[in-house]
A and B are shown apart, each in its own frame.
Chain A
């Protein structure tokens, strides 16, 4: 390998993890935004099939939130909106979202 090629390869190697971290951050922010559409609004209510206020998540236990998301993803917990939201989430996504909401502020 020539010196310039090594340099280019080294630059790529250095650049890739940074890019990945950036896009993870962006993805998490997008995912949080999805939750906030309902859970970030005071007194926001479900409309179907029953009407009640969606639960407050700020200050909730992270383990519980992960378990809830997994139960929605598996279909064990049955609420159409949450099943659709949870379906594409990875275990890492769920943990990151749970950690975000476990902090009250």
Chain B
């Protein structure tokens, strides 16, 4: 009975875990991103988007689309080639926790 309870708790918990990244882990993985997007997620070049404060699920979606080829950009395609889903979630958690972008009303 206890095992069933634990199993059902795990089943409930897993989707939540899968949907959220670890911001600290993301910070460690973000070094290559900083070259273009800035260490604080605010890009130094006008051509590269700011990531700071962007929604985490949008960042994950963008990275996934670069990886699966739906979104095409030679630089980003190379960057995401070796990223796992967990890496993407962690990076998204990190950049979404920074401050810059806002919903303009």
Using a CB–CB cutoff of 8 Å, the interface residues on chain A facing chain B are 36, 39-43, 50, 52-64, 67, 76-78, 100-101, 103-105
Using a CB–CB cutoff of 8 Å, the interface residues on chain B facing chain A are 43, 45-50, 53-55, 57-58, 60-61, 70-72, 100-105
Q: Within the complex, what minimum Cβ distance (angstroms) separates A73 from chain B?
A: 15
- Across the interface, which residues of A come within 8 angstroms of B60, CB to CB? 52
Q: Within the complex, what minimum Cβ distance (angstroms) separates A84 from chain B?
A: 18
Closest residue to A53 on the B side, CB-wise?
A: B55
Interface SS of chain B = loop
Please determine whether B55 and A52 come into contact, CB atoms closer than 8 angstroms.
Answer: yes
- Across the interface, which residues of B come within 8 angstroms of A103, CB to CB? 104
Interface SS of chain A = loop
